[in-house]
Amino acid sequence: MKIAIVGPGRMGSEVAALAREESHEVVTTLGRDDAISRDTLAEADVAVEFTLPEAAPDVLSALARAGIDAVSGTTGWSDHLPDVRRVVKEAGTGLIHAPNFSIGVAVFRRWLRTVASDLDGLEEYDVALHEVHHTRKVDAPSGTARLLAETILAETRRKDRWALTPGDGDGGPLDAGVLRITAERVGWVPGTHEIVLDGPDDQIVLRHEARSRRGFARGALSAAEWIRGRRGVFTLDDMLDERLTSRDQGGEG
Ligand SMILES: NC(=O)c1ccc[n+]([C@@H]2O[C@H](COP(=O)([O-])OP(=O)(O)OC[C@H]3O[C@@H](n4cnc5c(N)ncnc54)[C@H](OP(=O)(O)O)[C@@H]3O)[C@@H](O)[C@H]2O)c1
C-alpha cells in the first residue's frame, strides 16, 4: 500500500514505522501547514489521519474532496460526524473511523455486549468502569471509556447514563441508574480499561490492557487495507463484523 500520513505526531509516527516494517510505502507526511489536495496526495492509495479533535473534521473533509479513502483515529470530533459523512458521500470515497483502533478493544466490546445484556437478570451485581492512562492525556474519560460506557448503556435497562466520578470517597448518595466511570492518570500507561461487575460475594473484572501504541497502529493499518475502494463511512466494528462473519462462513465473502 502507498500511504499518506496526515498528522506527524506520536500516532502518525507509530503508523509510519509499522507501515515501513510491513513493507508498505509512506509516500507523504502532511502536517498542519501542508495543503491537502489531489496533487499532494497523487501518489497515495489511502490516507491515515491522527491529528487533533479541532482539526479532524476539516482534514477529513479535505481528504474526501481530494478523492482519497481515509482512516481516522483522532478522538473527540464525533459531533461533526454528520457533516463529514455528507462530504464523504458527495465525494464517493471511503472513511473508517474509531476512537480506538486496537483489534483487542473491538473484540472486548463484542464480548462486553453479551455481558451487559445479562445484567438485567443479575440484579445483585453492580457494574462500573475504570480507565488508566498516562499523565499527558488531556481528556477524561478517554474516548475508549466513553465507547465502552455507551456499549453497556445500549444493552441494559439498569443504567441510563454514565458519569465520571472522582473515585471512592467522593461523597453523595449513589444513583443506581448511573454507570460510574473513574479515570486515573499515572506515568506512561498507554491505555487500560476495566469493566467491574461487583456482587455481594465476588467480583468479575474484564480488563483490556494496551502494551504500547503499536496495537492502535496495527489496527489502523488493517483498516487502511480494508477501506480501499469502499464508499461511505464505516467503523472498526463494521470491519471486525465482516472479518469474523466471513470466518464463520469458512472464509468466503
Ligand atoms: N484511534 C486510536 O486508536 C487512537 C490511539 C491513540 C491516540 N488517538 C488519538 O489520536 C489523536 C492524535 O494523537 P497523538 O498522540 O498522535 O497526538 P500528537 O502527538 O499531538 O499528534 C497530533 C499531530 O497532528 C498534527 N496536526 C494538528 N493539526 C493538523 C492539521 N490540520 N493537519 C495535519 N496535522 C495536524 C500536530 O501537529 P503540531 O505538532 O504542529 O500541532 C501533531 O503532529 C488524538 O485525538 C488521540 O486521542 C487515537
DSSP 148-170: HHHHHHHH-SS--EEEE---TT-
pLDDT, tens digit, 9 for 90 and up, residues 193-238: 999 999 999 999 999 999 998 999 999 999 999 999 999 999 999 9
- The pLDDT of residue 171: 60
- Residue whose CA is closest, atom 31 of ligand 1? 32
| 7: region left, alpha or beta (phi > 0 left; psi from -120 to 50 alpha) | left
* 32 ligand 1 Cβ < 6 A: yes
Residue 133 annotated to the active site: yes
Place of cell 489511502: 46
Handedness of CA 209, 186, 178, 196 (dihedral sign): positive
The yes-or-no verdict on residue 168 having pLDDT over 90 is no
* Per-residue model confidence (pLDDT) at position 248: 60
Mean of the per-residue pLDDT values of the chain:
93
How do residues 58-109 score in pLDDT, each as one tens digit?
999 999 999 999 999 998 899 999 999 999 999 999 999 998 999 999 999 9
Please report which residue ranges of the chain form alpha helices under DSSP H. Answer: 10-21, 56-65, 81-91, 103-118, 143-155, 214-227, 236-248
Question: Is 2 assigned a catalytic role?
Answer: no
Q: Whose CA is nearest to atom 42 of ligand 1?
A: 9
Task: Give the three-class secondary structure for 120.
Answer: helix
Ligand 1 neighbour 162 (Cβ under 6 A)? no
**Residue position matching grid coordinates 472486548:** 108
Distance in Å, CA 11 to ligand 1 centroid: 7
Q: Which atom of ligand 1 is nearest to the CA of 219?
A: 3
Rounded distance between C-alpha atoms, residue 245 and residue 235, angstroms: 16
> Residue 132 is placed in which grid cell?
488508566
For position 246, what pLDDT does the model report? Answer: 76
- Strands 232-235, 94-97: parallel, antiparallel or unpaired by DSSP? parallel
Residue 49, number of CB atoms within 10 A of its CB: 26
pTM: 0.87
